Structure 1
Amino acid sequence: MNALRRHLAFNQCTHLMVKGITITAPGDSPNTDGINIADSQNIKITGSTFAIGDDSIAISSGTSNVSISNMTCGPSHGISIGSLGRGGTVAEVEQIHVFNCNIFQSMTGVRIKTWQGGSGYVKDVTFERINITQVATPIVINQFYTYYSSPVAGTVVGFYFLFLIKFATAGRIYNVVDYEAVGDGTIDDSQAFMKAWNAACSDATPATLFVPPGKNFLIGTATSLRGPCNSPVNFQIDGNITAPNRIWTTEGITWISFYNINNLNLYGQGTINGQGAIWWDCWNKHNCIRPYLIDFDGCNNLALSNITLMNGPRRHLAFHQCTHLTVEGITITAPGDSPNTDGINIADSQNINITGSTFAIGDDCIAISSGTSNVSISNMTCGPSHGISIGSLGRGGTVAEVEQIHVFNSNIFQSMTGIRIKTWQGGSGYVKDVTFERINITQVATPIVINQFYTDYSSPASKEDAVAISNVKFMNIQGTSTKEMAVCIRCSAAVPCTNLTFGTVTLARDEGDNRTVSATVENAYGMSEGITIPLISLSKKFA
């Protein structure tokens, strides 16, 4: 509070989370910006309050992939991109998403401000679901920003290009009940959902598909919601959606799928129930082929928040060939012994932010597959489960590529593994630039695992090839193991793990008189920093 000038700045930072902070100063205090962001990437700011004398948040050049949500802003000068391009400089800002915010008693609401004479670009920006109260000018784009002390060329020598800027409003509401959905849990409402979806998707202005509370909508068959849509779509689920409580397919298909949709926001207080118990029993007794619950394929600028998924027959939620995705505050549950009920699987996707969510399931909370990069996973509660995994990768001699994965500030408990990388012999490619940090582990069988010998014992394994694993950090990992061997690093002699770092790892047995734990390490190179319990013996140099 009450800074002399700007309160908080981030410069040349990446993978940053700001959550639940408060910044205050009198409304007439000069230049007391709340947060300034410059030359930084992969930023998430959420659930915070600003009452100050200038911009609540100001985004400067060199900044990309920023999510700003659930903010209370005012009095202030609003949320701004800029000013940019002063003195003929080149500025670059892109992939900015501001949503679910309240701005009041402010000079401006949402604003982009640039100077004449500058160059560069501002692109791929979305402002949506913003409530504005007593604001002088709610929406501003100004390419003539000036303090009047700087000369402004009569002819603009550099052009500042603004494109793909979206100011999204709720628009028309398409209630599934208006399209003959019944919501009694017995009559199949899948066709009504399809009709409502097609109408919302075809709207030329932003639309909301609404599933009302107090009803239980049966989707009795595999249902595919397809784009592209003509404008952004909100999918508000406040009622419950349920699958049939019977074996309704013999194919490995997906119950509800979303294809080729951009700018979709799915949220609400409802529950999506896959009725998995009958499927798990069939799998255990007859090895039945089971459907997946929900898939997103080829979807960009996608947001999911607050919904609950439960009892998927198999995997609950998957993202394939998606980019710029935010998942926040969702809950996924299934019994701890339910087979293969992963929470989220991510494949061939980039720029993913998963935060503040809860998983209690029978397999991996989150599984990251090949083709995936730039993923931030934070503030997760995971357990019972099989932990958070990269892989499995490289099965059947395939090439795998995974990089820039950051998992932090999370709790994993009562799980088979904690944080894990698993690859098959005979594969190729890489896993690199991975950080696991500030992870609390409780009652986990094996808290830390790297396994380049992953197998289901039915496939022959080659000892010559492996997915290369490098630049992996385990920092500030603490908690308890239910087994004596708490850390298992098994790497290939042909393709060893390189540049591993362990810093401040403190693990102990969960109970008993002897709480000592151990580590097994094979063909791994790197270093330990600070305290590491158990002792992790890494080779120092790799020729």
Structure 2
Amino acid sequence: MASTMTSKALFLVSFILTCLWKSSFEQEIFNPLDYEAEGDGVTDDSQALVDTWDSACEHHAPAIFLIPENTTFLSGPASFQGPCRVTPTVQIRGTLKAVDSISAFHDPGWIEFKHLDDLHIDGGGTLDGQGARSWPHACSYCKKLPMSLRLLKVSNTTLSNLTFVDSKGFHISVQQSTSIKVTLLNITAPGNSPNTDGIHISETTDIKISGLHISTGDDCISIGQGATDVHIENVTCGPGHGISIGSLGKYQNESDVSGVHVRNCSLSDTTNGVRIKTWQGSSPSQAFNFTFQDIVMDNVSNPIIIDQEYCPDATCVAPPSKVKISNVTYNRIRGTSNELVAVSLVCSQSVPCENVILQDIDLTMANNVTSNATLSTCSNVNVTAVGTQNPDPCLTKV
């Protein structure tokens, strides 16, 4: 009898421990609809979204922060901060829609994730920035137009399988972060929408971007100061301003940019192809170890361009730029240009570009252009040309 009781007791204890163990690792779902959100696309659900995140962040076990299907949450600025006990997985299956009034925003971001490790965001849903009313004010509000998604001081993070439309400012900004992977995004805004970069990267190390379709009114991807170890591949870009390193040197004491590799991308109807741009009169910094490889251009202006006399608003300090550019390789760049000059390498008189390599370049005139052949132009740069060269390279010595 005692043996039977002991066996039952052991079974009961084992059962309870198993249940406790399972419950501690189940991913509890945190849904804003359970935190007084309406999810009707009309009511401002900002506070409910933050309250939901805070509860998920405090949860003792893995959790899911869920934007459910067939819902639209209207929101002003919402900051989802850590550190958390266990960083929740973010599943955006429905739609987040920004309030359209710019007066609601005082910070750089609309949706912000901050101070988090092991963050994973996906779900197949949409972030709608409702930027159309803000774009006419782009000049007066140029430093205030919010990014749709801001990743700030995050690490070991993935962002995947989402759609971004009509951001007020940049669609995505990654800042002061490490070990980031961005895949399978669709990013769209009208071609005339100002400052609507697809993705902007700064002060970030080890970021991999692949499988994106980007159509915006500014750079598809822009790489700013302090970005290192950046890998971009299989990105379709256009319309927009192309894939840009820079602009660099606008501010004092900017961090160096290095190790940017762009491969297997296609650009169509963009105002630039692959570009490096630095401000006139910039303070000293370095930009080096860049590779642009297997890039296809279709009716692109300035397919290959280094512009160290960048000055978009005619208020720049007099040249030259003091950003030192070196070790840049263009390999297997092909397609069509709608400008006569298909390769333009305009470097700084103060710190000329060094070790720029053109290898197997084949850029012809687009069908809508009457000129017979493309040209190259360059200044203050040492160029090495290898293999096929169309247009003929300029090999001007410094």
- Asked if Structure 1 and Structure 2 have the same fold, meaning a TM-score greater than 0.5 normalized by the shorter chain, the answer is yes
Higher relative contact order (CA 8 A, sep 6+): 2
- 2:355 corresponds in structure 1 to 499
What secondary structure sits across from 1:298 in the alignment?
strand
Question: Which of 306, 317, 320 is residue 175 of structure 2 equivalent to?
Answer: 320
User: What is the correspondence of 1:343-382 to structure 2 with a 5 Å cutoff?
Assistant: 343-382=198-237
What secondary structure sits across from 1:389 in the alignment?
strand
CA RMSD of superposed structures (Å) = 1.9
What secondary structure sits across from 1:196 in the alignment?
helix
Following superposition, the deviation at residue 314 of structure 1 comes to 1.2
Question: Which of 158, 170, 173 is residue 303 of structure 1 equivalent to?
Answer: 158
Instruction: Verify: 1:439 aligned to 2:292, yes or no.
Output: no
User: What is the correspondence of 1:193-212 to structure 2 with a 5 Å cutoff?
Assistant: 193-212=49-68
**Alpha-carbon distance change, 172 to 285 in structure 1, aligned in 2, over 3 angstroms:** closer
**8 Å CA contact retained: 1:279, 1:288:** no
**Alpha-carbon distance change, 475 to 338 in structure 1, aligned in 2, over 3 angstroms:** same
**8 Å CA contact retained: 1:400, 1:429:** yes
- 2:344 corresponds in structure 1 to 488
- 2:373 corresponds in structure 1 to 516
Q: Distance in 1 between matches of 2:106 and 2:93?
A: 30
Which structure 1 segments of 5+ residues have no match? 1-167
- 1:244 corresponds in structure 2 to 99
**Alpha-carbon distance change, 247 to 286 in structure 1, aligned in 2, over 3 angstroms:** closer
Q: Distance in 2 between matches of 1:479 and 1:169?
A: 53
- 2:194 corresponds in structure 1 to 339
Q: Distance in 2 between matches of 1:206 and 1:392?
A: 40
- 1:218 corresponds in structure 2 to 74
- What letter corresponds to residue 158 of structure 2 in structure 1? A
- What letter corresponds to residue 473 of structure 1 in structure 2? T
- What letter corresponds to residue 278 of structure 2 in structure 1? T
What secondary structure sits across from 2:56 in the alignment?
helix
**8 Å CA contact retained: 1:249, 1:291:** no
Which structure 2 segments of 5+ residues have no match? 1-23
Following superposition, the deviation at residue 291 of structure 1 comes to 2.4
**8 Å CA contact retained: 2:340, 2:371:** no
**Alpha-carbon distance change, 369 to 170 in structure 1, aligned in 2, over 3 angstroms:** farther
- 1:406 corresponds in structure 2 to 261
Q: Deviations over 1:19-58 (max 9, x none)?
A: xxxxxxxxxxxxxxxxxxxxxxxxxxxxxxxxxxxxxxxx
What secondary structure sits across from 1:299 in the alignment?
strand
**8 Å CA contact retained: 2:226, 2:254:** no
Q: Distance in 2 between matches of 1:517 and 1:172?
A: 60
**8 Å CA contact retained: 1:282, 1:288:** no
**8 Å CA contact retained: 1:400, 1:428:** no
**8 Å CA contact retained: 2:213, 2:236:** yes
Instruction: Verify: 1:271 aligned to 2:120, yes or no.
Output: no
Q: Distance in 1 between matches of 2:117 and 2:240?
A: 31
What secondary structure sits across from 1:193 in the alignment?
helix
Following superposition, the deviation at residue 258 of structure 1 comes to 1.3
**8 Å CA contact retained: 1:451, 1:489:** yes
- 1:92 corresponds in structure 2 to none
Q: Which has the higher helix share?
A: 2
- What letter corresponds to residue 298 of structure 1 in structure 2? K
Q: Deviations over 1:257-292 (max 9, x none)?
A: 111011110001111101011111333799794222
Q: Which has the higher strand share?
A: 1
Q: Distance in 2 between matches of 1:169 and 1:384?
A: 45
- 2:115 corresponds in structure 1 to 260
What secondary structure sits across from 2:135 in the alignment?
helix
- What letter corresponds to residue 383 of structure 1 in structure 2? G
Q: Deviations over 1:463-511 (max 9, x none)?
A: 3x51110000000000111111111110112210000111111001112
Q: Distance in 2 between matches of 1:504 and 1:256?
A: 43
**Alpha-carbon distance change, 251 to 238 in structure 1, aligned in 2, over 3 angstroms:** same
What secondary structure sits across from 1:260 in the alignment?
strand
Q: Distance in 2 between matches of 1:277 and 1:357?
A: 23
Write out the 4+ residue segments of structure 1 that deviate beyond 6 Å after TM superposition.
Answer: 284-288
Following superposition, the deviation at residue 247 of structure 1 comes to 3.5
User: What is the correspondence of 1:143-162 to structure 2 with a 5 Å cutoff?
Assistant: none
Q: Distance in 2 between matches of 1:348 and 1:285?
A: 26
- 2:325 corresponds in structure 1 to 469
- 1:191 corresponds in structure 2 to 47
- 2:271 corresponds in structure 1 to 416
Q: Deviations over 1:149-174 (max 9, x none)?
A: xxxxxxxxxxxxxxxxxxx9762111
Q: Distance in 1 between matches of 2:254 and 2:341?
A: 31
Following superposition, the deviation at residue 427 of structure 1 comes to 2.3
Q: Deviations over 1:187-243 (max 9, x none)?
A: 111111111111111122221111100111111x21111000111321000001101
The count of residues paired between Structure 1 and Structure 2 equals 372
Q: Deviations over 1:57-115 (max 9, x none)?
A: xxxxxxxxxxxxxxxxxxxxxxxxxxxxxxxxxxxxxxxxxxxxxxxxxxxxxxxxxxx
Following superposition, the deviation at residue 526 of structure 1 comes to 2.9
**Alpha-carbon distance change, 401 to 206 in structure 1, aligned in 2, over 3 angstroms:** same
